[in-house]
């Protein structure tokens, strides 16, 4: 049995880690850390977990002291845990970092997308980008995992088969992501606060979203050709869920059956990818994945123009964060990839 500690356990992603790990056969949560709620029981912040973590209280984290755990999940906001993670690496602890602090391999990109000079550029290459559908071999035995962002995950999963097969114009890839308010975390600010998002659909960071660099970094592994892409996310009034629509143009004539084969071939054997292609439901819907680690993936061709679109619907807090982190960790530990994650979606949601 592995023992885990969670940094930032009082946030939405921390709460999902606590919820999902309850059902994990090989991992138990030993420590839950939160500065703001130190000494409070876990159910004080996560009342839906009342009765499941009897005796477990939030603690303050002393970064100079080992957390006395086999695994540490860092669910702190971007930048807040970067020095903590570096010290944990020195202690030899297995780490799953759910922030953006170690996702990008090129330290120069942190200046461009996050506005700071990365203090530990030597560590970036040591972290494996934890997207199981692309990097399962790299994840085997990995002790340092950088868990992807939800927008990046949805976009990559939608487009990866098309890029791998080189059947689209790789210089013209347009990414549109719709995402719920929980993406912004527990602490509200103007624009992310749910009362400001309810009943609205609006673009944000339309001049360039930081998850684009994650998309490009991973997509480049699939092709030797040059790539050019653009991403615009949209705030919508749902609480959970992300839907990515990735558009480009076919470079050769393919019908829908051909496209289905492309997606089926790429995702063969991937337990959490469901290709949505049937007479009753051809396109993904976030309502069919909420609460689960499943990603529903599909495609559509516009015959008149030759435009092709890949789609992914996922729960941004599960497959886009906590669930995917556990999935990647399972692979790294040599456990069943599905361990602790075989939870069906909620319906209705």
pLDDT digits (tens, 9 = 90+) for 338-348: 999 999 999 88
Query: What residues contact 168, with CB distance under 8 A and at least 6 apart?
Result: 162, 248, 249, 250, 251, 308
pLDDT for the residue 191: 54
Give residue 207's pLDDT.
87
276 in a labelled binding site: no
Q: Would the annotation count 220 as a binding residue?
A: no
pLDDT value, residue 322? 98
- Known binding residue 10? Answer is yes
Strand order of the β-sheet with 71-74 is: 58-59, 27-33, 2-7, 71-74, 94-97, 144-146, 128-129
pLDDT of residue 189 exceeding 60 = no
Lowest-confidence range among 75-79, 203-207, 268-272? 203-207
Residue 15 Cα to chain centre, angstroms = 15
Helix or strand (DSSP H, E) at 43: helix 42-45
Tell me the average pLDDT of the chain: 93
Task: Report the percent of the chain where pLDDT is more than 90.
Answer: 82
- 121 upstream amide cis, omega within 30 of 0: no
β partners of residue 233: 177
pLDDT given at position 64: 72
Q: Domains for the chain: give ranges and CATH numbers.
A: 2-126 (3.40.50.720), 150-316 (3.30.360.10)
**pLDDT digit string, tens, across residues 264-299:** 999 999 999 999 986 666 799 999 999 999 999 999
320 in active site: no
Rounded distance between C-alpha atoms, residue 343 and residue 137, angstroms: 25
Task: Determine if residue 11 is labeled as part of a ligand binding site.
Answer: yes
CB under 8 A, 24+ apart: contacts of 78-83: 78/114, 79/114, 79/116, 80/8, 81/7, 81/8, 82/119, 82/120, 83/119
pTM of the model: 0.95
DSSP β-ladder status, 273-275 and 242-249: unpaired
Active-site residue identified among 150, 159, 160, 314: 150
12 is in an annotated binding site: yes
Determine whether the annotation assigns residue 36 to a binding site: yes
What mean pLDDT do residues 40-61 have?
95
């Amino acid at each position: 049995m592995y023992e885990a500690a969670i940094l930032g356990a009082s946030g939405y992603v921390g709460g999902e880690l606590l919820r999902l790990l309850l059902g994990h056969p090989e991992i138990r949560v030993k420590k839950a850390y939160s500065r703001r709620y130190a000494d409070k029981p876990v159910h004080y912040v996560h009342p839906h977990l009342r009765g499941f973590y009897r005796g477990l209280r939030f603690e303050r984290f002393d970064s100079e002291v080992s957390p006395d755990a086999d695994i540490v999940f860092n669910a702190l906001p971007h930048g807040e845990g970067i020095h903590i993670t570096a010290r944990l690496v020195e202690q030899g602890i297995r780490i799953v970092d759910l922030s953006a602090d170690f996702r990008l391999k090129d330290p120069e990109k942190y200046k461009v997308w996050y506005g700071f000079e990365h203090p530990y550029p030597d560590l970036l290459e040591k972290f494996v980008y934890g997207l199981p559908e692309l990097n399962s071999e790299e994840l085997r035995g990995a002790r340092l995992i950088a868990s992807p962002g939800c927008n990046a995950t949805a976009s990559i999963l939608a487009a990866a088969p098309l890029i791998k097969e080189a059947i689209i114009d790789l210089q013209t890839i347009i990414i549109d992501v719709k995402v719920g308010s929980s993406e912004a975390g527990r602490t509200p600010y103007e624009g992310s606060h749910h009362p400001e998002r309810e009943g609205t659909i609006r673009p944000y960071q339309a001049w360039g979203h930081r998850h684009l660099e994650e998309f490009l970094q991973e997509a480049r592994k699939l092709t030797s050709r040059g790539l050019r892409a653009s991403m615009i996310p949209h705030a919508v009034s749902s609480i959970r869920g992300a839907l990515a629509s990735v558009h480009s143009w076919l470079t050769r004539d393919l019908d829908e059956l051909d496209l289905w084969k492309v997606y089926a071939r790429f995702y063969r054997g991937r337990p959490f990818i469901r290709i949505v292609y049937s007479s009753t439901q051809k396109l993904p819907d976030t309502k069919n994945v909420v609460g689960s680690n499943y990603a529903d993936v599909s495609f559509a061709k516009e015959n008149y123009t030759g435009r092709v679109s890949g789609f992914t619907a996922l729960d941004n807090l599960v497959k886009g964060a906590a669930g995917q982190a556990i999935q990647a960790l399972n692979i790294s530990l040599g456990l069943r990839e599905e361990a602790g994650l075989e939870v069906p979606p909620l319906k209705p949601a």
